[in-house]
Structure 1
């Protein structure tokens, strides 16, 4: 990386625009950056860092340094532009931070966003071409080209001597932090962290498995009772699985022995329980027979006590059977008596409804009066028809009046509607004509809309193709540049191959055979291949790459030409009008066309409405003519109805008599005829029932005498109803059944024999059976508990065995990960120096840095001092990051913290330069052609200063330029190329001295 030019505007202490020409300063190889304190020397370096990374060095940024100069004018924007060459490419980076500026209109301020430009110099075209204006893209491009982060750049290119002086005196932890930032060893720390996390994770899983195994062991202990003692080991301790399996085996063997004992006890209890049950059954049977005999004796005594009641029931049953022959006559007499009572009551009710003149009449007289009322009712039928016709006439007259009112209203409505017909027809004609005009306008607008939409589509295509064309142009230019470079590379390789073709031909020479070029058979000094020789394969690969690049260039140029043609066509159709204006015009035409369509769509509706109105006009005229005809016919009908109504009213006045209507007169005659007829029937029924009652009394007296009863009343008293007969028969049957049962029981031999034996002791037998049953339940429960214990122990043992088998791979993984994690963390016994993985990597880098720094330190110290790396531990810290200095004068090795001020300076400078070389190689070998060294030269004497400057001046051998930032006056005499920074009240300025 080589810096060419730096332009600064309104940045830090620089209020105006300043330019630093690094090409002129670097021509001398060594240049001095000096100025008074606070003038802005370090701000020049900050500007370089800001241009590359968009931020100033971290230490200064942490102090709150503002980018914008306080001396800058309000209208001047802060800007930094850096021109540099990196990785063979000439680039220009321009950055503008966010800017709070005054508004162009009105008062107040507004904030402009940050801006970034990246350009590359095209040597063939002799001009700059834009690459990107994206912050992210520019940042990624610069970081990829440099191969260093901002922190590494600030440490390698802007060498801060104070940091390395502290590095020399720091402990291993501080050195590890600095080296970790520079060499980015976070991945190794991440490996340590991942291993530790994986160790904790697997350890937690192993502990969870062991905890579950211990939980199963405690469950086994609960199932086994006191027959098992769980292992006294914690989760994670070795030997836990074997201890659990051993304890489980002992518990299972003990449980099976207990099950065998419980089974024997259960068999004995079952035998005893069977004997006790058999004895209880025998005792119960004896007690039952003895109780049966006692109950039979008691039942026989009760039968003897109720013998008189049984004989009385037999006598009553016999009289009831005799009275059953009199029952039909009794029923007949009761029925006749009830019928006669009902007929007499009905006669009394009927006579109460008769008129006073007929209250004592007989059945014949009442029947004659009923016939006379019926004859008069038949004479009223003609009057009823006349009354119904009169009602119809009244309804017809009401209909005629209602029709007349309706026709009158219809005529008035028709007259009113017809009066406004001419004006309504004229309005509809106007609407039709307006809609027809609008339809013509809609056709014209449709044509205009299609044209506007075509222009809008072409404009959008134009804008889209413009961007694509520009992108295609850039791609075509890039392809052309790539093709030129590929061609140049191929020609260069071809030239190199031609230059070394002699060596390629010499490779096929054989002593005694003629040369293909000169024909000689002796080859005393054949050409040899030199380093970097190009063979035929390399040339052909370069030629193939050149041809591919040419094909891509031709394809990109063809695509660019196609897009340009399409863009020209779209521009010709759309013109230069912007899309927004064309879209607005198209939208306006669309709205006008929609409005014209809506108005034109009313044409059909208006025509239909006119046709409907004309039909309504014809209908109204016809309705008026029909109403006039109906009015003339109604007058004749009304006169006919009036004449017929007068004749019917006269006829009905005669037929009604004193009643209001013929119906009321007919209802009155109907009620009279019904009353008379009902009374005649009731009188005849009463007379007939009296005759039947007298006949029934004679028959009842004769039947009672034949059955042996003195009077019919005695026969009725002896007669039993169904319920009494059934109850009496039930009592007689129960007596006989009980008597037979008692005789049968007393006749049983077993019952009699049981009664002669001593009384059965049922309570003692029951107590013995209950005790046997209780012992059986206890033995069965003990046997079941022992079986459950065996099953549970078997299940838990199998579960524990499965858990141990599943946990074995995890435990092996944990052991392996734990060993790796301890080794990487430096806590393993195998790690003799207790070095962490990151420290080990950093130690290797520090060893490289010490070797690179020693080369320059030997020259600076006149061969006295050498930096060496040490793996020894410092105090209680980790080993691997020790740094010692070897003093050749004393032959002793000592810590770098014992160096004096001047010695510390050139040791730290050598360390910084060595670190720059190592970090550069680590970053991918990016060449650093410009370095800056900040302060520290004031602590050197003249001789040491000369030696240091000689070392710095020797960097020119590698085509490097070194800028020294210092206040030391003596350096102004020794270094002719100078960049002086001066400060004034209006801001700092820069001036270059000793350069052309």
Structure 2
């Protein structure tokens, strides 16, 4: 990915639309981004990260916080980024969720986050991602890096430069997890752990099930099985063998019992057959006795049956004569009824004649008062007319009261509106004053915000100054230690030199002595060549090995050189720290906020005070803007004025209607007598007249109708009485003829008089009873005689059996069978239960064996993968350590170069103390001392070089593992200010190596030497109205 153009709108300190054309760099592959603190250098990185991923390069900055405080509210925050990737050009436009002013009306509305992704082909934009999700999908597919990888490889943000270097194993694990996506290894660890637990739980479950199954065993009286079941650690296989043998024994007992039951049941069948035969014979004897007893009882009833036969004969004779008797009685009764009817009709006729006379008298009296009631009807009509007017009077009176109440209410509402209108005018004046104050506070808030940024910068410089002072003191202490060590080594060196000189002198003396012994007069000296030997050596020296002193001198000289180099390095470092302190002091005194206070606490308190003041202002400004509220109040006032005018018109209309209704009420009151204004009184008088008139009419109509009906009834009764006398005479003749005929028939029958006939006549059901009684008796006597003869023939030569003996034998056999069946059922239940237990146990043991085998393997793997091993490394951390080794391999190539072969990064492989996991912490190998130490002991400049080498190594390794990734750009934020000139050269050379491969390198730095070494500079200018940028190119 290579940037071409970056456009930021209302983004961070860039209040307006700021464009950065990276193509202005041309063939240059390295540039510096320079500017004052807080001007917006890092924001450029944030904008690129936000455009691509919707996130910012610094973890503490969120996308929603990047809205410029200086921007016009009509300008929305957005980033437009054009870049080249794999010989293609793309453009993405992204904006965060934000609030903007409504285009219509007052207030604000929330604008959702959005993104659009284009591919530029021949200068034309082709939309390939129209939504956030589509754009993010295309970016991830093209970049082949997630945000964390992109940030670690292409952007090394401010404050996070040393994170990977100095973090402990846990923090480093989180960083490397995100970069190398090792979640699958963690999932594998967790899977093994959960699978191991699952298998262990299954094994425990099977064991508990076996305990439950063994507890279900009944050893009966088997002592060996009892003892095996009660042991603490059971021999399960032995118990199963013993239990199977015991079940087999119970099966044999069960089979024997079944055979006994079969034999008993055969014997039982024979007994049942004998009882059945004996029972038949006994029943026959009982039946014969019963039949003879019944025949004897029937014989005793023979006289009664004879009498019944005689009574039945007389009844049949009486039935032939009975119709004549009935006819005479009917005609006698008819004669009596008709005579009685004539008497009753004559009585009614006399009573009706008297009633007619009385009704005629009542009717005549009612006719006399008819005129009086006509006058009452006329008065009733007049009162009804008054009632109609009275009702209209009261209705209008109610309407008048209702109008009065409405008018009063409307008038009260009108007064309320006028009062509210006055209050709104007062509130509007107050809001005008408040609006002015709101705008002043808004300006004050912006000023405080700028002051807070400046205070933050000053505090940061004080903090950096404190760090430099700590570094300065530490370096002085280290320098003094080095100087002391140098002095010690020089003393040792001088001593060894003296010793060496003395040893050499002794060796020369001894050598001269040996030579002098070989000199001869007249022969040339092998040393000087003279033939004369005036003063030959007479005394030699001690023989001493000078090589020991020479080796010591070489060792001390090497240490002196190292210490002098270290002292020189520390002096340079002190000078650099002193320069940086002076620079920071100059920047602090040059700050607008500097007022002579050199204590950071003063500025921290000032920051707290300003923050508090800003928070109070924000609380005030978070309320609704007064101009909006004022417009709302003015709108309310306009509405109230309109409503007031409308109400005044309504009140006037109600007043006119009230006057009209009041006139109608007064007119009606004059037309109605005062006593009739009382509706109850008038209604009572009308109701009283109506009752009297209605009662008179009803009474007259009733009397007239009753008289007419009485006359009709009198005529009808007269006719009926005449007819009754004629029918009574005819009935008398008919009765006399029927009585005469009955006497003649009785004289020719078996009866002597009518009373005998009546006594012999029975009702039909009684006759049928006699007939049935006689027939049933005769049939029963015949049947019993026939049945008795048959039983006598069957029992001829047969003796009576003893049933009790046979039943006792049957009961004995039944009990024996029942006892055998109970014992057999108990055996079968025992066998079935224990066979089921044995089957379940065998299944359980087979399954448990398989689970135990799996657990043995899986549990062991889980322990190793989850850190229960010699190195205390989890599987995921082991993989991460492998990645880290690759990173260190590449990083050390650069670090050795940047530190002239002094430092090399190693992974700490020792086991951590306690249960703490390690494996990812870093140590630095100092080749000057030959010792390893923690990376946190490195000085600021040394740590920066190590961090830079590690970051560059990380970028190379991640790129190699994310195959196909095109990394043509790298940005580095801060850190070069801690380097001495030599280290700076070495760091720049490392960066040159990167950019030599065609990668674009951008560096944020305040270091003048870096600006001098790099000819391209992107300058960021800050002002009260926001920041701006400009590329500056200088020839070096």
TM-score by length of 2: 0.51
5 Å-filtered alignment, 1:12-51, equals 12-24=12-24, 29-51=29-51
How far apart, CA to CA, are the structure 1 residues paired with 2:310 and 2:42? Answer: 153
Contact 1:293 1:745 in 2 (8 A): no
Q: Give 1:847 deviation, angstroms.
A: 1.3
Inter-partner Cα distance in structure 2 for 1:332 and 1:232: 101
Q: Alignment partner for residue 691 of structure 1, among 720, 734, 744?
A: 744
Change (3 A) 1:332 1:880: closer
**Preserved CA contact (<8 Å) 1:224 1:251:** no
CA distance in structure 2 between the partners assigned to 1:326 and 1:108 by the alignment: 126
Residue of structure 2 in register with 1:96 after alignment:
95
C-alpha displacement of 1:23: 4.5
Q: 8 Å contact 1:172–1:877 — kept in the other structure?
A: no
User: Which runs of structure 2 are paired with 1:403-802 in the superposition (5 Å)?
Assistant: 683-697=736-750, 773-774=814-815, 776-798=817-839, 801=842
Q: Which residue does the alignment assign to 1:67?
A: 66
Alignment of 1:763-912 (within 5 A): 773-774=814-815, 776-798=817-839, 801=842, 817-818=858-859, 820-827=861-868, 833-869=871-907, 871-875=909-913, 876-878=915-917, 880-912=919-951
CA–CA distance in structure 1, aligned partners of residues 301 and 198 of structure 2: 104
Could you tell me which runs of 5 or more consecutive residues in structure 1 were left unpaired when the two chains were aligned: 234-238, 357-658, 701-711, 713-719, 755-759
CA distance in 2, matches of 1:353, 1:969: 157
Check whether the contact 2:338–2:724 (CA below 8 A) recurs between aligned residues: no
DSSP 3-state at the match of 2:749: helix
Contact 1:10 1:76 in 2 (8 A): yes
Task: Measure how far apart 1:284 and its partner are.
Answer: 14
Shift of residue 959, structure 1, vs aligned partner: 2.5
Structure 1 residue 786: Cα displacement: 1.0
Write the distance in 1 (CA, Å) between the matches of 2:91 and 2:239.
Answer: 80
Cα displacement string for residues 90-116 of structure 1 (whole angstroms, at most 9, x for unaligned residues): 334333334533344443334445454
Give, in angstroms, the shift of residue 907 of structure 1: 0.9
Q: CA deviation at 1:342?
A: 3.5
Q: Is the 8 A contact 2:192 2:862 kept in 1?
A: yes
Give the match's secondary structure for 1:59: coil
Q: Is the 8 A contact 1:869 1:881 kept in 2?
A: yes
Partner of 1:257: 249
1:470-495 deviations in Å (ceiling 9; x for gaps): xxxxxxxxxxxxxxxxxxxxxxxxxx
- 2:970 aligned counterpart, secondary structure: strand
Instruction: Name the CA distance, whole Å, in 1 between partners of 2:152 and 2:72.
Output: 34
Map 1:120-159 onto structure 2 (within 5 A): 120-122=119-121, 125=122, 132-159=129-156
Counterpart residue number, 1:108: 107
Change beyond 3 A, Cα 1:271–1:941: same
Alignment CA distance shift 1:288-1:905 (3 Å)? same
1:904-944 deviation digits (Å, cap 9, x = unpaired): 22111110111111112222243433322222333333332
Q: SS state of the match for residue 1029, structure 2?
A: strand
Query: Which secondary structure state, in structure 2, belongs to the residue aligned with residue 66 of structure 1?
Result: helix
Given that 1:87 and 1:926 are in contact with CA atoms closer than 8 Å, whether structure 2 keeps it comes out as: no
> 1:815/1:333 Cα in 2 relative to 1: closer, same or farther (>3 Å)?
same
Correspondence 1:980 to 2:1019: yes
Secondary structure at the aligned position of 2:38 is classed as coil
Q: Which residue of 1 is the match for residue 172 of structure 2? A: 175
C-alpha displacement of 1:900: 3.4
CA contact (8 A) 2:82 2:89 kept: yes
Pair 1:345 & 2:319 matched: no
Equivalent residues of 2:52, 2:92 under 8 A apart: yes
Cα deviation for residue 862 of structure 1 reads: 0.3
Number of the residue aligned with 2:969: 930
Partner of 1:499: none
Q: Deviations over 1:710-742 (max 9, x none)?
A: xx9xxxxxxx97688789989999999999999
**1: CA distance, partners of 2:931 / 2:29:** 37
Q: Distance in 1 between matches of 2:840 and 2:726?
A: 110
Equivalents in 1 of 2:943, 2:104: separation in Å?
60
In 2, Cα distance between the equivalents of 1:137 and 1:745? 113
Q: Is the 8 A contact 2:99 2:109 kept in 1?
A: yes
Closer/same/farther in 2, CA of residues 298 and 131 from structure 1, 3 Å limit? closer
Query: 3-state DSSP class of the match of 1:20?
Result: strand
1:787: how far off? 1.2
After superposition, the Cα gap between the structure-2 partners of 1:204 and 1:686, relative to the gap in structure 1 and judged at 3 Å, is same
CA distance 1:224–1:986, change in 2 (3 Å): farther
Residue 163 (1) aligns with residue 160 (2): yes
1:184 is matched with 181
Q: When the two structures are aligned, how many residues end up with a matched partner?
A: 644
Contact 1:920–1:928 under 8 Å retained in 2:
yes
1:77 equivalenced with 2:130 (yes/no): no
Counterparts of 2:118 and 2:786, CA distance in 1: 134
Q: SS of 1:60's equivalent? A: coil
Give the Cα separation in 2 of the matches to 1:312 and 1:95: 130
Task: Tell me the distance in 2 between the aligned counterparts of 1:355 and 1:130.
Answer: 128
3-state secondary structure, aligned to 2:68: coil
Displacement of 1:2 in angstroms is 2.4
Distance 1:801 1:288 in 2: 61
SS for the counterpart of 2:1018 is strand
| 8 Å CA contact retained: 2:335, 2:728 | no
Distance 2:1016 2:1009 in 1: 14
User: Can you list the C-alpha shifts for 1:340-361, whole angstroms capped at 9, x where unaligned?
Assistant: 64454345346658999xxxxx
Q: Structure 1 residues 37 and 774, CA, compared in 2 at 3 Å: closer, same or farther? A: farther
| Secondary structure in structure 2 of the residue aligned to 1:32 | strand
CA RMSD of aligned residues (A): 5.8
Unaligned runs of at least 5 residues, structure 2: 341-713, 754-759, 761-768
SS in 2 for 1:943: helix
Is the contact between residue 101 and residue 112 of structure 1 (CA under 8 Å) also seen in structure 2? yes
What are the Cα deviations for residues 221-274 of structure 1, in whole angstroms up to 9, with x where unaligned?
6999999779999xxxxx99x94x764554343133234335546766898999
- CA separation of 1:97 and 1:349: change in aligned 2, threshold 3 A: closer
Residue 832 of structure 1: CA displacement? 5.8
* Structure-2 residue corresponding to 1:942: 981
Matches of 2:9 and 2:770, distance apart in 1: 140
Mapped to 2, the partners of 1:10 and 1:332 lie a distance apart of 137
2:130 and 2:124 map into 1 onto residues whose CA distance is 18
Question: Could you tell me which residue of structure 2 aligns to residue 493 of structure 1?
Answer: none
Aligned to 1:607: none
Task: Quote the offset at 1:204 in angstroms.
Answer: 5.7
Q: How has the CA–CA distance of structure 1 residues 188 and 748 changed in structure 2, closer, same or farther, with 3 Å as cutoff?
A: same
| Post-superposition CA distance 1:868-907 (Å, at most 9, x none) | 3455433334465353332222333444344333322211
The answer on whether the counterparts of 1:223 and 1:789 sit within 8 Å (CA) in structure 2 is no
Instruction: Provide Cα deviations, 1:549-580, integer angstroms capped at 9, x if missing partner.
Output: xxxxxxxxxxxxxxxxxxxxxxxxxxxxxxxx
Change (3 A) 1:175 1:677: same
Are residues 676 and 91 of structure 1, via their aligned partners in 2, closer, same or farther at CA, if it must alter by over 3 Å?
same
